[in-house]
Amino acid sequence: MNLRPLGRSGLQVSPLCFGGNVFGWTADEATSFSLLDAWVDAGFNFIDTADVYSRWAPGHAGGESETVIGQWLRASGKRDRIVLATKVGKDMGDGKVGLRPEYIRQAVEASLKRLQTDRIDLYQSHDDDATVPLADTLGAYADLIRAGKVRAIGASNFSAARLAEALQTSERLHLPRYESLQPLFNLYDRAVFEDALQPLCLEHGVGVINFYALAAGFLTGKYRTPADAAKSARGTNTTAKYLNDRGLRILAMLDAVAQRYGATPGQVAVAWQMRQPAIVAPIASATSLGQLQELVKAAQLVLDDATLAELNAASAQG
């Protein structure tokens, strides 16, 4: 496995990241353990979760994913073989939300306890919080880094303007800087990232670990008609927006490239992302060992420049 540097953090991560939103939700504990073991055994080391996963599910309070990962770490003894990323800031209820220093200090202790570890490799601001001065948030992270509880910090869902302001604040005040950015980015959802965030990340050496790598399953070819989308809540709520002329044009090109390479559309979609400027590790999830093997194969797929150009043209806006 060829590891990649994550920003200037010193962390070396695999070219794909396992999205932990499924752990304790659509993947029960036993399935989650088998997926995590298979991920590490295949040579990958990067796992991303958040304190809020999976608060959206009926009967869940948040912390379910971290709890499962923590149980796996205790049972497997594989803590030193992974780069562990989690997030803070989404609403956990009872006023537990945002990036106030006092809340960050409280939230990190809760995450460490659930994860059953003494350190978080990458601690990310899950959302921007404009109500808190950036210096205060970054100062709280500095304290956690000095205490050895966090190794590096990252940002998620930040605009280019706010990420730039955060980087400037870090430089001016000699505070830790956001070494990674977690934005929405895939073959369909390109414009917001490419227009302003990509050049900023390239200029400042910020590593990008994008989410929705498969556009909620659309780029696997699973949803090709409104009838397909209606087969699941995820399809109805999310992928319906992709079922248009541009989306179908992207699927047609993915089909053609997949046939040429003896791959699947989803593998091609992920392999394309791995070749994009600033992208360090797309984030993708799996709920079965079969789906995980699809991701393993995607990481091994190398697309030539002509194929990348075809995919770029097919997915171009307008």
Active site residues: 53
Q: Render the chain in DSSP notation, one character per residue.
A: ---EE-TTSS-EE-SSEEEGGGBTTTB-HHHHHHHHHHHHHTT--EEE--TTTTTTSTT--S-HHHHHHHHHHHHH--GGG-EEEEEE-S--STT--S--HHHHHHHHHHHHHHHT-S-EEEEEESS--TTS-HHHHHHHHHHHHHTTSEEEEEEES--HHHHHHHHHHHHHHT---EEEEE-B-SSSS-HHIIIIIHHHHHHHT-EE--B-TTGGGGGGT---SHHHHTTSHHHHHTGGGG-SHHHHHHHHHHHHHHHHHT--HHHHHHHHHHTSTTB---EE--SSHHHHHHHHHHHH----HHHHHHHHHHT---
